[in-house]
Amino acid sequence: MKSLTKKSGKNTDILQDAHGRIINYLRISVTDRCDLRCTYCMPAEGVPQLNHSEILRFEEIEAVVRVGAELGIKNARITGGEPLTRAGITSLIQKLSVIPGLKDLSITTNGVLFSKMGFPLREAGLRRVNFGISSLNSDIYYKLTRSSRLPEALEGLEAAIKLGFEPIKLNVVVIRGINEDLSDFITLVKEKPVHVRFIEYMRIGAADYSSSFVPASEIRRQIGAAVELEPLNAPVGCGPIQNAWRVSGGQGSIAIIAPVTEHVCEYCNRLRLTADGHLRPCLFSADEIDIKPALRPAFNTEMLKSLFVEATQKKPGNLRETTDFGRSMSQIGG
Ligand code: SAM
Ligand code: SF4
């Protein structure tokens, strides 16, 4: 197999894809299970669950991240499903936070369990957190998540602020006719050190909101009309700087993630690892590489390295549209 790794000055292998992009970010789904049922993510009855035996054990995830870090993975994000529902998640954070070469470790959570778990997670080495809370209004939150747990999610957000997590990001999937009024979030950014990211809805195996799609351009117009925006000239966290602003006089910032209308494949630096041990080269493609043969029955470092290279090699250059994601969002991890 043609190697797509190149040596850096520090003799660290770096994953580089066929389009010249350096791959240094791994998004790791640790479970397909969730305690919410967001309409934009999964159907009310949930999605068929993986067998426990298929889900990677923590020591397997740790081994994958160690090898990834040797190959140049510098940023890892834990996601799900809802990662905080996975028993013992704090111990995984502890294992990952000491991996040499891994510079940034973060988690994406719906926040419902965070007020109880924030402290042990911080003690375990977690410093950055993204919350997925698409409304601050309890009726709208109920419509979006089929749940009344907004107070718990907001307690989680407050706990993160008090515990000094930095940066704290807040994902908001914008749906016309439901949560398209973004004014509560603009107020939040003015008052709290929270970086809100408005996300265009992607149709991935859940309720079809295509006719309620709100494009980035419209989101930008709405926030621009409501508040004075100062373009950010440095990224918050490790994403690319685009569509991101500090709010005049505010503590936080606003960003727009536009995977549908402004899909910026040229900046893509990531691979995804599903809970059942598949590397996904691209969110928009159902193409996956099963890495379990490199983990079971025995761990095989060389095989795993070549599977990382293969996944990197399979990253498409520019995939703007798809009809087949292969899995629901809760199974991929966002
Ligand atoms: N349960 C956690 C949460 O809700 O943040 C982590 C997993 S969830 C799959 C990760 C992120 O995916 C969510 O924060 C949400 O913003 C985003 N997401 C889910 N469904 C989406 C959709 N259909 N379109 C765009 N973003 C979506
Ligand atoms: Fe669960 Fe997150 Fe999907 Fe909502 S977006 S159903 S919290 S995995």
Residue 14 CB contacts under 8 Å (≥ 6 apart), including other chains: 5, 6, 7, 8, 22, 24, 71, 72
Structural domain boundaries of the chain? Answer: 5-332
Q: Summarize pLDDT for 265-293 with one digit per residue, the tens.
A: 888 999 999 999 999 999 888 889 999 99
Helices (H), 216-293: 216-226
**Rounded to an integer, what distance in angstroms lies between the CA atom of residue 44 and that of residue 260?**
24
pLDDT of residue 157: 98
Tell the burial category of 242 from Cβ atoms under 10 Å away from its Cβ (0-12, 13-18, 19+): middle
CA–centroid distance, residue 111 to ligand 2 (Å): 10
Main-chain dihedrals φ then ψ at residue 313, nearest 5 degrees: -65, -30
Lowest mean pLDDT among 6-15, 18-27, 76-85: 6-15
Answer yes or no: is pLDDT of 206 > 60: yes
11 confidence band (pLDDT: 50, 70, 90):
very low
Tell the residue nearest (CA) to atom 18 of ligand 1: 334
pLDDT of residue 195: 96
For residues 10 and 217, the model is more confident at: 217
Answer yes or no: is pLDDT of 8 > 50: no
From 30, 35, 40, 42, the mutation candidate for ligand 2 (largest count of ligand atoms within 8 A of CB) is 42
- Torsion angle defined by CA atoms of residues 99, 75, 42 and 289, in that order, rounded to the nearest 10 degrees: -80
Treating both helix axes as pointing N-terminal to C-terminal, what angle do 138-145 and 150-163 enclose, rounded to 10 degrees?
100
pLDDT of residue 12: 58
pLDDT of residue 323: 64
Answer yes or no: is pLDDT of 324 > 80: no
pLDDT of residue 205: 63
CA atoms within 13 A on the CB side of 174: 27
Answer yes or no: is pLDDT of 200 > 50: yes
pLDDT of residue 1: 41
**Mean pLDDT over residues 69-79, rounded?**
97
The closest of 310, 277, 321, 282 to 58, measured between CA atoms, is 277
pLDDT of residue 236: 56
CA–centroid distance, residue 23 to ligand 2 (Å): 26
Tell the residue nearest (CA) to atom 14 of ligand 1: 132
pTM of the model: 0.93
| Ligand 1 cavity residues, CB under 6 Å | 34, 40-41, 79-80, 82, 108-110, 132, 171, 173, 199, 201-202, 204, 206, 329-330, 333-334
Q: Summarize pLDDT for 103-123 with one digit per residue, the tens.
A: 999 999 999 999 999 999 999
pLDDT of residue 127: 95
Q: List the beta bridge partners of residue 278.
A: 290
CA–centroid distance, residue 88 to ligand 2 (Å): 19
CA–centroid distance, residue 308 to ligand 1 (Å): 25
**Mean pLDDT over residues 197-211, rounded?**
84
CA–centroid distance, residue 141 to ligand 1 (Å): 14
CA–centroid distance, residue 156 to ligand 2 (Å): 15
Q: Are 304 and 71 in contact (CB under 8 A)?
A: no
Tell the residue nearest (CA) to atom 2 of ligand 1: 109
| Ligand 2 cavity residues, CB under 6 Å | 34, 36-38, 41-42, 80-82, 110, 132, 329-330
Q: Summarize pLDDT for 143-177 with one digit per residue, the tens.
A: 999 999 999 999 999 999 999 999 999 999 999 99
Tell the residue nearest (CA) to atom 8 of ligand 2: 81
10 confidence band (pLDDT: 50, 70, 90):
very low
How would CATH label the architecture of 5-332? Alpha-Beta Barrel (3.20)
The DSSP annotation for 62-111 comes to: HHHHHHHHHTT--EEEEESS-GGGSTTHHHHHHHHHT-TT--EEEEEE-S
Query: Chain-wide mean pLDDT for the chain?
Result: 90
pLDDT of residue 294: 98
* 81 dihedral zone (left: phi>0; alpha: psi -120 to 50; beta): left
pLDDT of residue 13: 56
**Rounded to an integer, what distance in angstroms lies between the CA atom of residue 317 and that of residue 103?**
26
Q: Are 331 and 32 in contact (CB under 8 A)?
A: yes
Answer yes or no: is pLDDT of 235 > 70: no
pLDDT of residue 52: 92
